[in-house]
Amino acid sequence: MAYTFDAQIVSDLHKDAYGCRPSAFWWQCWNEATDDERQAEWDDLLDVSARRYALEQEDERIALEGFEKELAQIREINPRLTEAEAIAYMTPIEFEDNPNLNSQDVEHWVWQNGILFTERGRQIVELVKQIHGVK
């Protein structure tokens, strides 16, 4: 049997799959496992990681759909608003005239909307930073 597991990155794969590093008990089991058992665990981690990624992609799609729907509703109420003006309307009131506003604040707001790690989310971050004068 050809083994594809990599003991050097299995901790990273575990984190991708379950959102945390392996426990001491998991490491004990890993260290005591045969190569066949390690390969089975590796394959399981790959499967769980792939399923988790697919779910995250679906969550982002749904969040982006909701964000775009809210944006469209704002522009429907006032068709003269540009996209930037409508997005400015959507941002928290604390963003207005706030000299302490920073990139992390903007990214957090976009993250709360569930779209930070999408291409559109990155565009929104840059647009909001521009709107509010964040460097």
pLDDT band of residue 135 (cuts 50, 70, 90) is confident
Q: E strand or H helix at 68, and its extent?
A: helix 35-77
Residue 6 to residues 10, 29, 34, Cα–Cα distance (Å):
6, 15, 13
pLDDT tops 90 at residue 72: yes
Residue 1 token pair: 């049997």
pLDDT computed for residue 8 by the predictor: 96
Q: What is the mean pLDDT of the chain?
A: 96
Please say whether the beta carbons of 64 and 115 come within 8 A. yes
Query: What is the CB neighbour count within 10 angstroms for residue 125?
Result: 19
Give the up-direction half-sphere exposure of residue 126: CA atoms within 13 A in the CB hemisphere.
Answer: 7
H or E segment at 28? Answer: helix 24-32
- For residue 64, what are its two tokens? 């982006």
**1, pLDDT greater than 90:** no
